C-alpha cells in the first residue's frame, strides 16, 4: 500500500532538509489532496518521487494549469477590547486580500508499483506575463507537451523546458485564453460573415447609430 501524503512529505523533508512542502486539502468527494512544493527545490523533489524505491512515481499522466485571481477572504479572530469598562476577548471579523497566482498541477503514478496518484503542484509569484516555474519535463518526459499547453493557455514560462513554444494558438497570438479574466475578440480573421452575436459584441465599442428614418434622404 502506498504511503500517505504526510509520510511522503516527511521522508522528502528528511532526505532534503530546507525544502518547503505543504499539504493542500481537497474538500471535494474525490478527497485527492496534494503536495504544494517550493519552486527552488521542485526538480530535486521530483527526482526523489521518481527514483525513491518505495514510490517509483515513473509516469506523469497529466499536467494542467490553474488560474487564481486576487481574492478577499474573511476570518474570525479574537481581540481584546474594553466592554463596559472591562477588558474582554471578543470575536472580530477581518478581511485579508490574497494576491492572484498561477499553478501547475501534476498527477503522478507508478507503473512499477501500480499505485497513485500522487498530486504535486507549484505556484507562481503572481499573474504577470513573466510568471515562471521550473520545468519537470527533464524528470517526466510526458510533461513536455502538457507544459507547453500550460504556457500557451495560461502564460506560465517553464525554465528548463527543452522546446517551450505555443502548441494550440498561433505564434503571433498575444493573450492566454484559459485565464479567468481573458476576453475573446469580437471577431476572428477566419470568420466568413458577421454573425448576430459578433455584431452585438461589436456594438459595445461604437456610439449608437442614428435611427433608420434619420438616414433616409429628405
Pairing of the two strands 86-98 and 71-83:
antiparallel
Residue 217 DSSP symbol: -
Q: Which residues touch 112 (CB under 8 Å, ≥6 apart)?
A: 56, 58
pLDDT tens digit sequence for 53-83? 999 999 999 999 999 999 888 888 888 887 7
For position 18, what pLDDT does the model report? 92
Closest CA to 26 of 117, 92, 95: 117
How confident is the model over 141-169, as a mean pLDDT? 97
Give the residues across from 201 on adjacent strands.
none
Nearest CA to 65 out of 143, 13, 9, 5 is that of 143
Q: Say if CB 125 and CB 131 are below 8 A apart.
A: yes
Q: Quick check: 217 pLDDT over 70?
A: no
Closest CA to 120 of 28, 51, 20: 20
- In this prediction, residue 216 carries a pLDDT of 56
More confidently predicted of 27 and 58 = 58
Beta-sheet strand order (sheet of 21-24): 21-24, 34-37, 115-123, 101-110, 59-68
pLDDT exceeds cutoff 60 at 215: no
pLDDT at res. 61:
97
The mean pLDDT value for 142-158 works out to 97
CATH number of 5-210: 3.30.460.80
**pLDDT surpasses 70 at 93:** yes
Q: Quick one: CA dihedral 27, 73, 183, 197, positive or negative?
A: positive
CA dist 30 and 35 (Å) reads 15
- Residue pair 178/153 in contact by the 8 Å Cβ criterion: yes
* Structural domain spans, the chain: 5-210
Write 12-17 long-range contacts (CB < 8 A, 24+). 12/45, 12/48, 12/49, 15/48, 16/41, 16/44, 16/45, 16/48
Grid coordinates in use for 183? 476576453
User: What is the pLDDT, as a whole number, of residue 51?
Assistant: 97
Amino acid at each position: 500500500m502506498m504511503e500517505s501524503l504526510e509520510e511522503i512529505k516527511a521522508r522528502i523533508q528528511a532526505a532534503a532538509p530546507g525544502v518547503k512542502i505543504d499539504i493542500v486539502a481537497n474538500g471535494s468527494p474525490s478527497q485527492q489532496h496534494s503536495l504544494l512544493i517550493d519552486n527552488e527545490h521542485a526538480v530535486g523533489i521530483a527526482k526523489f518521487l521518481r527514483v525513491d524505491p518505495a514510490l517509483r512515481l515513473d509516469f506523469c499522466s497529466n499536467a494542467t494549469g490553474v488560474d487564481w485571481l486576487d481574492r478577499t477572504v474573511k476570518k474570525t479572530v479574537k481581540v481584546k477590547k474594553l466592554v463596559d469598562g472591562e477588558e474582554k476577548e471578543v470575536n472580530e471579523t477581518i478581511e485579508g486580500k490574497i494576491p492572484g497566482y498561477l499553478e501547475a498541477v501534476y498527477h503522478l503514478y507508478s507503473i512499477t508499483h501500480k499505485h497513485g496518484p500522487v498530486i504535486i503542484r507549484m505556484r507562481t509569484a503572481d499573474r504577470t506575463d513573466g510568471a515562471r516555474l521550473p520545468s519537470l519535463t527533464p524528470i517526466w518526459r510526458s510533461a513536455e507537451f502538457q507544459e507547453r499547453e500550460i504556457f500557451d493557455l495560461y502564460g506560465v514560462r517553464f525554465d528548463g523546458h527543452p522546446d517551450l513554444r505555443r502548441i494550440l494558438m498561433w505564434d503571433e497570438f498575444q493573450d492566454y485564453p484559459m485565464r479567468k479574466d481573458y476576453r475573446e475578440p469580437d471577431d476572428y480573421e477566419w470568420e466568413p460573415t458577421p454573425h448576430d452575436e459578433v455584431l452585438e459584441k461589436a456594438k459595445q465599442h461604437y456610439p449608437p447609430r442614428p435611427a433608420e428614418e434619420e438616414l433616409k434622404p429628405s
